Amino acid sequence: MAKIIGNALPNIPWQDPPETLRTPLWRFDGNPIIGRDGNKRSNSVFNSAVVPYKDGFAGVFRCDSLSISMDLFAGFSKDGIHWTIDDEPIHIVGDDPEITKREYRYDARVCLMEGKYYVSWCNGYHGPTIGLAWTEDFKTFHQLENAFLPYNRNGVLFPRKIQGRYMMMSRPSDTGHTPFGDIFVSQSEDLVYWGRHRYMMGAVPGDTSAWQSLKIGPGPSPIETDEGWLLIYHGVINTCNGYVYRMGAALLDLDEPWKVKARGKDYILAPQMLYECVGDVPNVTFPCAALTDAPTGRIAVYYGCADTVTGLAFTTVDRVLDYIRANSF
């Protein structure tokens, strides 16, 4: 049995699985947990990240406004299911107004590292790039330099240093809907200057694993296990009805995480429910956060549904690893 390397989280949101499962994830029967009206001006709340915080949970939420302005908002919850989201965007401070000036902000990830909560997001700076900030209270966010030049999306930090360096995954992109995309790992001594770029894995041409044939991108911060880093990611196929976003999983080497030990040919969750298939952007399941309870191996995955609402799904580390090993390619 695989073991999660991490802390106990006895209050992790959880629901037991149904009697029969075709894939290793199952949905919370109260989905969506956050609707369109998450705060007073939201058109949609999705692609958001949550972490344990104090005696409950905190998060950074993408709330597109009634004017469809994309920004990030802090939120808090006692149980990880019922959320109160601030009505005003997060308060960002920094040394250089050239960097803190807002164009747009969306699709955040959050991880606890070295006593601070680090937030990465798609940041508008003459095109999409990776913004990075830290907070200790989810009230004031201290922005660092943008990690990369435009154009880049899906910046996801590993939750600790590896071989003495910070590491971040990202997916180089373009200014539009990006009909391509592979995952790379970049390394840094100080969270400011990034280099030592390494290719991790890419889209899969043909029909070997067609659900991820157009592009892929990292999801939540990787989960450390005694067998490697468990990565949950999204994959996209271009169909006659547009893009479809599904979830997949891979196991990465602990010391050189750009080396893939196993990768599932089959998806682990796909748009099937009405709230995943119908919305502002139909047919999207987009993972951005995962809570874990190390003693039980439980995992709770938060994901955006149809670019409109937020869903919650559950699994265990053994279920996912057994599944991807059984159909690895």
Domains and CATH numbers, the chain: 26-326 (2.115.10.20)
In percent, the amount of the chain with pLDDT more than 70 equals 100
Round to whole Å and give the CA distance between 307 and 279. Answer: 7
Which residues, at least 6 apart from 4, have a Cβ–Cβ distance to it below 8 Å? 223, 224, 225, 292, 293, 294, 297, 299, 317
CA distance 236 to 234: 7
Report d(CA 243, CA 177) in Å as an integer: 9
pLDDT at position 39 is 97
Residue 11 near residue 19 (C-beta atoms within 8 A): no
pLDDT tens digits for 280-306? 999 999 999 999 999 999 999 999 999
pTM to 2 decimals?
0.98
pLDDT tens for 175-224 read 888 899 999 999 999 999 999 999 999 999 999 999 999 999 999 999 99
Query: In the structure encoding, which two tokens stand for residue 225, read together?
Result: 């296990």
In the sheet with 91-93, reading across from the earlier edge strand, the strands are 91-93, 140-143, 128-135, 116-124, 105-113
